Chain A
């Protein structure tokens, strides 16, 4: 077990009558890349601001490498932050921006210069030391912001949606660069994002937040394969949700009756009762499509008519309308669906372990 870099214990945050965070517990390991993922207003930025010291929790504590920093102001914490839109000092050159924290630490001038050069090399901006921040592109500005935050060797680097203002190509490139820098330095990164793809690509671990709580955390693979709620399965990647009522429970095997038919599923580690509302989550890429009805696996298939075919280049999405009217999406390689057209009668089926039973979220 690696050493814990950040321990968040029972953190609650209220703004007046509104509750932004509801008793959050979270540990981040040293050298870990953790993403806080959620839609806007879920509390992820508030949590980051509590770790950085810009907000005080109403209750609970924050420890960094064993030291309680809950009441420490931001300038005394061993954390540094990369802001959403860089927040570079517009009246200072790139070099002065990166040197700022080192100057405050009263480093010697030559040592500062060496460190700035090292940081510029790290973010591949060697020739840019004397530029004004106003003359940098969005991607360059974020690289400088990263260099500035890393210059003082923070024990934990906090990143508040630093790539969200960049266009897609550049964002994808910066995701890989950030990940590579983090690996090379072995630093602890806490990364806030609302972009699930970004979180999946970059993180060692993802904590998904909703309504001020962490609803699930785990590796990207765990979260994608084993979501623990309808919210998570819907938020991470695309999924088909078949909602209904549990009509039979035999050990782990569960029968769920929905408008689109009766399905079987495995209740992995969740206790379910007859009569409970539940949903079945089946990923679009886990569904296979056949044109002949033939022998369909009872409980793991549904028949319908092709409704829409959406060409996406490397993949194709097909919307199938079940007899009940429910739309089920499947996704596959382009040539998987040659010869299909709107109105074609098809049968959709999936492997028994591809269907994940989820309790309906209680709001």
Chain B
């Protein structure tokens, strides 16, 4: 009986971890699995496997428009947030006054914990006051706003360990400030900037709340899916979700990899 108790004690933690992981990933796994099954309904057992839902998703012109818009917004977020965030973080780290640095970092982080609903509504009201029509541009501005704090945060973490004396060494050896940027600064922080930009793209791809309040009649993948869901579950939604998931996993993994590389 002692043996059983010991075995139970050993099993219990493993079972707990398993339950938590199942809780976290089971819904996602269900969607991925059912995006490949022949039955149009979510039911067990699985009758057969097919790629039909993917073909129907990709041939749907609404979906391809939404996908194009989503990729456009993701690219804009990556580019704009990446450049602005990197420059901002670089300036922050170079600041000599630690308290000013901490408060500026805090101020740039604040939108990250602000409810998206508030940001979305505030932007919509703001654009209305400025007499700007809702549309893709508004959504893009919203996406940059939402992703910028995360870019600043990851760049700041990377730059904390950046040895600024190499920049002075280059100046000392005869390089003009422009030359230092080209020869030293950019080669050293480029992987971090790209990593942060990919993160911005990932955040943009699945942004829904701010987009929905500002994009007007245009579509992105999350906005379209939301619309489709109101009419009932179509297995092609599973296919879209799975593609989105794959894209996000790739972006986040690439981002993490780039940030780890050269961070020593």
Interface: A73 (CB within 8 A): yes
Chain A residue nearest to B190 in the complex (CB) = A91
Contact status A87-B165, CB under 8 Å:
yes
Considering only residues 178-224 of chain B, those with a C-beta below 8 Å from chain A are 179, 183-184, 187-188
Contacts A85-B165, A88-B166, A104-B179; A75 near B188 (Cβ below 8 A): no
Partner of B174, one of A75, A87, A89, A90: A75
- In the assembly, what is the distance between CA of A149 and CA of B172, in Å? 9
- In the assembly, what is the distance between CA of A184 and CA of B171, in Å? 27
| A residues neighboring B (CB under 8 Å) | 52-54, 73-75, 79-81, 83-85, 87-91, 100-101, 104-105, 134, 148-149, 152
Interface: B168 (CB within 8 A): yes
> Which B residues are in CB contact (< 8 Å) with A81?
168-169, 172
Report 30 cross-chain contacts, Cβ distance below 8 Å, ordered by A residue.
A52-B172, A53-B171, A53-B172, A54-B172, A73-B171, A74-B172, A75-B171, A75-B172, A75-B174, A75-B175, A79-B172, A81-B168, A81-B169, A83-B168, A83-B169, A84-B165, A87-B163, A87-B168, A87-B169, A89-B166, A89-B169, A89-B184, A90-B188, A91-B188, A100-B175, A101-B174, A105-B174, A149-B172, A152-B173, A152-B174
Nearest first, the 5 A-B pairs at minimum CB distance are A101-B173, A87-B165, A87-B169, A104-B174, A74-B171
* Distance (whole angstroms) from the CB of B161 to the closest CB of chain A: 11
Other A-B pairs, 5, CB within 8 Å; known A74-B172, A87-B163: A75-B176, A81-B169, A89-B184, A100-B173, A100-B175
> Which B residues are in CB contact (< 8 Å) with A54?
168, 171-172
| B residues neighboring A (CB under 8 Å) | 163, 165-166, 168-176, 179, 183-184, 187-188, 262, 264
* Distance (whole angstroms) from the CB of B170 to the closest CB of chain A: 7
- In the assembly, what is the distance between CA of A91 and CA of B263, in Å? 12
Partner of B172, one of A80, A84, A88, A91: A80
> Which B residues are in CB contact (< 8 Å) with A79?
172
Partner of A100, one of B168, B170, B262: B170
* Distance (whole angstroms) from the CB of B38 to the closest CB of chain A: 53
Contacts A104-B179, A134-B264; A87 near B173 (Cβ below 8 A): no
Contact status A89-B165, CB under 8 Å:
no
Task: Name the residue in B169, B171, B173, B183 with the highest tally of chain A Cβ atoms < 10 Å from its Cβ.
Answer: B173
> Which B residues are in CB contact (< 8 Å) with A87?
163, 165-166, 168-169
- In the assembly, what is the distance between CA of A73 and CA of B163, in Å? 21
> Which B residues are in CB contact (< 8 Å) with A148?
169, 173
> Which B residues are in CB contact (< 8 Å) with A89?
166, 169-170, 184
Contact status B173-A104, CB under 8 Å:
yes
> Which A residues are in CB contact (< 8 Å) with B188?
90-91
> Which A residues are in CB contact (< 8 Å) with B170?
89, 100
